[in-house]
């Protein structure tokens, strides 16, 4: 497991390689999706930070606190000063999530991650702030999505 800012740095690196940028909302949702797919496909978490159900979808508060000052502007620089390496399955998940979802806008990713039946929609209660979305709920959702995805 890694700190969410380290996984966010991986997405920022991929964006830089493509000569594009990511906003805080995009980054939060991409890290969440990578964590979900890691749980669903490999049965283990990608990040150690908790995830909460906020009004506009799942949020990783520790990562949000590090990037909120960018507002809707692109996130610049690195978020972690620590060097580390992902294992092959982690690298694969991050790359695939970026390839599939990286071109979506923040609002598009938000709609995707808080659609009916998602871990967010099963956790969020209007007016209640900070409800934790459990890894078990996330794992179950992404495992079901993986099982329903045609091979190929």
- Give 10-residue mean pLDDT values along the chain (152 residues): 95 96 97 97 96 93 96 91 86 97 95 93 92 97 85 42
Closest Cα partner for 113 from 124, 103, 127? 124
Q: Phi/psi of residue 13, each to 5°?
A: -65, -45
pLDDT of 83: 75
pLDDT of 149: 61
Distance from chain centroid for Cα 109: 10
pLDDT of 44: 97
Tokens of 102: 């990286």
- In DSSP terms, 57 is beta-bridged to 54
Direct distance between the N- and C-terminal alpha carbons of the chain, in angstroms, rounded to an integer: 29
Q: Phi/psi of residue 103, each to 5°?
A: -90, -5
C-alpha–C-alpha distance, residues 25 and 150, integer Å? 29
pLDDT of 150: 52
What is 76-92 written as a DSSP string?
Answer: -S-S--------HHHHH
Contact 96, 90 (CB under 8 A): no
Angle between helices 135-148 and 24-42 (to 10 degrees): 70
Q: Is the dihedral of CA 8, 9, 13, 19 positive or negative?
A: positive
């Amino acid at each position: 497991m890694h700190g969410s800012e380290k996984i966010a740095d991986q997405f920022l690196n991929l964006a830089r390689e493509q000569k594009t940028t990511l906003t805080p909302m995009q980054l939060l949702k991409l890290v969440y999706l990578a964590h979900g797919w890691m749980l669903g496909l490999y049965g283990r978490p990608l990040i150690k930070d908790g995830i909460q159900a906020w009004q506009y979808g799942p949020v990783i508060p520790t990562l949000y606190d590090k990037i909120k000052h960018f507002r809707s502007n692109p996130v610049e620089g690195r978020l972690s000063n620590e060097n580390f390496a992902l294992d092959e399955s982690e690298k694969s998940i991050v790359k695939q999530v970026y390839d599939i979802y990286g071109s979506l806008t923040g609002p598009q990713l938000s709609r995707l991650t808080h659609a009916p039946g998602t871990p967010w929609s099963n956790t969020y209660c209007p007016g209640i702030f900070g409800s934790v979305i459990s890894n078990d709920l996330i794992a179950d959702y992404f495992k079901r999505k993986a099982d329903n995805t045609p091979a190929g």
